[in-house]
Amino acid sequence: MLHNIRVNPGISVIIPNYNGSATIGTCLSSLFSSNYPNFEVIVVDDFSTDGSIEVIRQFPCRLICLQQHRGASIARNTGAGDSSEEVLFFIDADCVVSVDTLGLAAKAWADNKNSVIGGSYARTAYDNSFYSNFQAVLINYSELKYREPDYVASHAMVMSKEVFEKNMGFPEEFMPVMEDVEFSHRLRRSGTSLIMDSSIIVRHIFNYSFRESFRNAFKKAKYWTAYSLNNKDLTKDSGAASVELKFSVLSACLTYIFFLCFLISFNAFFPACMITVFMFNLWLSRGLIKAFFSPINRSFGIKATLYFFLAYPLPVAAGGAAGMLYCLQSRTGRR
């Protein structure tokens, strides 16, 4: 058992919540089952309308209620500003921790006190459905590929309160879903190192159907593309916006074009092109394919690989096109 407070730094777990009544109870229950002895939990409710507050009040956490819906960045910054411990651990209201997650986060921080440490999702989602597990494996593989990443995601982000305040926290007026990426890039420009620690794992409650998987892919691709165009790093291998995903989108588009050309001309050149592109895509994505086959079973691996190559690129491509339009409209002031 751990008893020395100097060995066990105080951790403030910061959770933004907006209409998360379906998941916040599970999240908090897992946190208060932790075997770590020195932590507080701060939930900032972003003006929920679904009964979230009643669920949150069943747990011994600090609850801060915003008086209007203001977004996850302001919720996180508010929680951090009200924290009383030296270490901040940001997670989301649909994340579930293990009994040792806080201890592992504390150890990672103690070894890298001036850095920002990131964890990732477990390779099996909490709800354990195909589309949720597909997303969990994809994110886990992409985020943990490099020890020094391009960004650290806010679903498992550890840093000192001092570093957080010095860098002014999450951007409060910024495009959706990209706040942690912008914050990470700002941290790196200030000289703060980013480190991924594969021991810090949370299980995500996705509850994804085919429709939700497509919707999420479209939304993320839209804002990733707009941000990357502004940041001039569209082709960068950056976490969930991985080079494997980007080439898979290009490969799928080329494959459908070659197939259409073949239907029109019946020229054997086009099937040869399709095979060449597909084989190169297999080689480039070999690490991700291996990840698809590792957490569950072979049938999941086959299905996930086909979904990644043939279906998932479609909403990503559509989202990318929407992101280009979003970027153009933003620059002309017509968004």
Tens-binned pLDDT, residue by residue, of the chain (335 aa):
344 445 799 999 999 999 999 999 999 999 999 999 999 999 999 999 999 999 999 999 999 999 999 999 999 999 999 999 999 999 999 999 999 999 999 999 999 999 999 999 999 999 999 999 999 999 999 999 999 999 999 999 999 999 999 999 999 988 889 999 999 999 999 999 999 999 999 999 999 999 999 999 999 999 999 999 999 999 999 999 999 999 999 999 999 999 999 999 999 999 999 999 999 999 999 999 999 998 788 999 999 999 999 999 999 999 999 999 988 887 776 55
**What superfamily does domain 11-208 belong to in CATH?**
Spore Coat Polysaccharide Biosynthesis Protein SpsA; Chain A (3.90.550.10)
Give the whole-angstrom CA distance, residue 235 versus residue 229.
10
**Domain boundaries along the sequence of the chain:** 11-208, 243-332
| Beta carbons within 8 Å of 72's beta carbon, 6+ residues apart | 16, 18, 46, 154, 170, 179
Tokens of 236: 């960068």
Categorise residue 329: left if φ over 0, alpha if ψ from -120 to 50, beta otherwise. alpha
Laid out side by side, the sheet with 39-45 consists of 62-65, 39-45, 11-17, 87-90, 157-160, 116-121, 194-204, 95-96
Global pTM reads 0.93
Contact 4, 67 (CB under 8 A): no
